[in-house]
Amino acid sequence: MSAKDFWDPDGAALPEGMCVLPEPSKAFSTQASVPSESPAFAGRLRRLLLLTLLFLGINLILGTESYLYNRAYSPEKTWLTFVIYPMPLWMPWIILVPVVLKVARRFRLDQSPGAKTIGIHLVAFVVTLGCHFLCMAALIGLQISYQNGAPPLQATLKYFGHLPLGTPLGWALRNLIVYCVVLAVSYTRDYRRELRDRDVQASRLEGQLAKAQLHSLKSQLHPHFLFNSLNAISTLMRTDMDSAERMLDMLAELLRRSLRESAVQEVPLHQEMDFVGRYLDIEQVRFSNRLNVEIDVPPEVAEALVPHLILQPLVENAIRHGIGPKVGPGTVRITARRENDYLALQVSDDGVGPGLRRSSLTGEGVGLTNTQARLDQLFGGRARMEFGAVIEGGFRVALQIPFCLAGGAVGGAVDGESKGATR
């Protein structure tokens, strides 16, 4: 057992056979070990100083108490005498506490409270008690030698030769109490560290789970969007082969782009609108003059961060369930506004009403269900989604999310995965 093991409570032993090699640039430097050793040495020195202050404080309090109690019976003795006299009882613990802490961590009574562990601690206490008595005897001999000039060894033997048996037994009981207190402090500190580590681990796992759920929710959009688009292309191929081929080329480009951005959870609004615009180009080929699109996104919100693919499924729902069943042309409107610390997004159509829609109003479709789940994961209770019929006819979906620009935060929310974005 090395001195480093005694004095470094947070240190961990290297696995057997493993060593740490110096960096090549420092391998032959005579001062290479000084920078790496100085923090550890400073930590050990600080702990030694704290232990010294602790036991000096205990000695000071008990000495003062003894002085106040005995000054009526021994007025000739000064306060300093009562403070110096018990120092040999407490000072040896300055060097014994680190050893007891090492034993407490190596043989934990709370994890394996068997006869073997209890026996090890009994042996450790007896050894500690013996070391304490030896150090205490040496200090007492020095005290007596300083007072009357007698040789330290002779003074020590004479002092202990006249002690009643109850005095060493009282010292042993006091040492047992100190030993138990050191064990309790060690286990309390270990429990606190383990609880903190578990909290950190739980937070890390919670973050990983949330990220996995977001990726899972986002991945549901790709096959849903792909199957709908391919179904539209197959239908168009029976009537207009050129348009179907052009639609297939645009779909391939759109899919390549979505795959490049598959790991991104938040993007600027202008980037999301560009993706939606490419998707609308595909639908324009399919619906021709039946589909009109109105977009109102002012420049001041173009850099606001939004969840990637948050608008495309809403636009797809509007076209598929609103404009598709409608006889005649229809219009899809996309608007964005900043409302204090929030960004308000809206997708509406003037297609068939909720009574004729297959899944939008109940939220059972992938689009609305997925959108609500992603908002809950990204923003918790700070985002809101509302949907329902429009008075003039059609359907509307409104989103409200915390307003945030790339590289800065307004409104506050949970972390996204966009580069430079903080909420």
Read off the pLDDT of residues 309-324 as tens digits, 9 standing for 90 and up.
889 889 988 988 888 8
Mean pLDDT of the chain: 76
CA–CA gap between residue 163 and residue 97 (Å, rounded): 27
> Does residue 224 sit in the same domain as residue 175?
no
> Does residue 316 sit in the same domain as residue 364?
yes
- The answer as to whether 20 is a domain residue is no
pLDDT (average), residues 177-203: 86
Cβ-count burial 144-153 (b if 16+ within 10 Å, e if not) = bbeeeeeebe
CA–CA gap between residue 50 and residue 214 (Å, rounded): 49
Asked whether residue 106 carries a pLDDT value surpassing 70, the answer given is yes
**Enclosing domain of residue 383:** 206-402
- Provide CB contacts within 8 A for 243, sequence distance 6+: 236, 285, 286
Backbone angles phi, psi at 404, to 5 degrees: -150, 135
- The answer as to whether 289 is a domain residue is yes
> Does residue 252 sit in the same domain as residue 396?
yes
| Report for 256-265, 283-292, 327-336: range of highest mean pLDDT | 327-336
Least confidently predicted of 165-179, 208-222, 378-392: 208-222
> Does residue 353 sit in the same domain as residue 380?
yes
- The answer as to whether 18 is a domain residue is no
Asked whether residue 326 carries a pLDDT value surpassing 60, the answer given is yes
- The answer as to whether 180 is a domain residue is yes
> Does residue 336 sit in the same domain as residue 264?
yes
Least confidently predicted of 1-10, 373-382, 403-412: 1-10
- The answer as to whether 423 is a domain residue is no
* Three-class DSSP category at 387: strand
> Does residue 219 sit in the same domain as residue 194?
no
Residue 36: the pLDDT is: 46
CATH number, domain with residue 283: 3.30.565.10
CA-nearest of 423, 403, 398, 399 to 413 is 423
- Provide CB contacts within 8 A for 322, sequence distance 6+: 330, 332, 349, 350, 351, 352, 357, 360, 394, 395
Q: How would residue 401 be classed by pLDDT, with cut points 50, 70 and 90?
A: very high
CA–CA gap between residue 121 and residue 115 (Å, rounded): 10
> Does residue 213 sit in the same domain as residue 195?
no
- 68 compared with 13, residue with greater pLDDT: 68
> Does residue 171 sit in the same domain as residue 211?
no
Q: Is pTM beyond 0.75 here?
A: no
Residue 415: the pLDDT is: 39
Number of domains in the chain: 2
Asked whether residue 72 carries a pLDDT value surpassing 50, the answer given is yes
> Does residue 264 sit in the same domain as residue 395?
yes
- The answer as to whether 407 is a domain residue is no
> Does residue 149 sit in the same domain as residue 165?
yes
> Does residue 213 sit in the same domain as residue 306?
yes
pLDDT (average), residues 53-76: 81
> Does residue 268 sit in the same domain as residue 394?
yes
Convert the pLDDT of each residue in 143-163 to its tens digit.
777 777 778 787 777 777 777
pLDDT (average), residues 354-381: 69
Convert the pLDDT of each residue in 19-30 to its tens digit.
443 444 444 444
